[in-house]
Amino acid sequence: MVHDLKRWLGIAGLLIVGIVPAASAAECPALLNHSFPGLVDGKPQSLCQYQGKVILVVNTASYCGFTSQYDGLEKIYARLKDKGLVVLGFPSNDFGDQEPGSDKEIADFCRMTYGVEFPMLGKTVVKGKKANPFYLKLAEITDSRPKWNFHKYLINRDATKVLAFGSFTKPEDEDFLKKIDEFLK
């Protein structure tokens, strides 16, 4: 009996430390199977943690004519996060050198100027052949590449459908909000 209990505890321990996380990772949709450093702490953030959510991906910049969209993005996130929406910010200096700061400077700007609480990842490349692999895949799926800051990709809950919206689509745009609501249902 004691031997069986020890054996069971050993198997349970394996499940807790090894097999369960591996099984969860195996369930992650290929589109989300990427990690990026977090903007604030630089620690790797797996996009798999957002599986099952509707994901709004936005390449951001602090010194752009579209920067005020942070306000609308934060309002959408605050209003819909409990329904399953996550907004992911990807700061990039690819367009007009409008995001020249360090990750810390970007994080401070976003928090102090717009009260951003949605997840922000470390500064990255989102255009051209050197774009990060996640952005390359989003562009391939939608046939829409960011032409400027605040280009948006909307990903459904099972990461099988992705829609693209240009920089001129504001977070409060009615048609844009309808698409988010459709994906949340």
Catalytic residues: 64
- pLDDT at res. 117: 97
- In this predicted structure, the answer to whether residue 6 has a pLDDT above a threshold of 70 is no
pLDDT tens figures, 70-125 = 999 999 999 999 999 999 999 999 999 999 999 999 999 999 999 999 999 999 99
- pLDDT at res. 22: 39
* pLDDT tier for residue 26 given thresholds of 50, 70 and 90: low
Domain limits of the chain? 29-184
- In this predicted structure, the answer to whether residue 39 has a pLDDT above a threshold of 50 is yes
pLDDT tens figures, 171-183 = 999 999 999 999 9
- In this predicted structure, the answer to whether residue 23 has a pLDDT above a threshold of 80 is no
Amino acid present at 37:
P
- Considering the chain, what percentage of its residues have pLDDT values greater than 90? 85
- pLDDT at res. 95: 98
* pLDDT tier for residue 162 given thresholds of 50, 70 and 90: very high
Query: Tokens standing for 152?
Result: 């948006």
CATH number of 29-184: 3.40.30.10
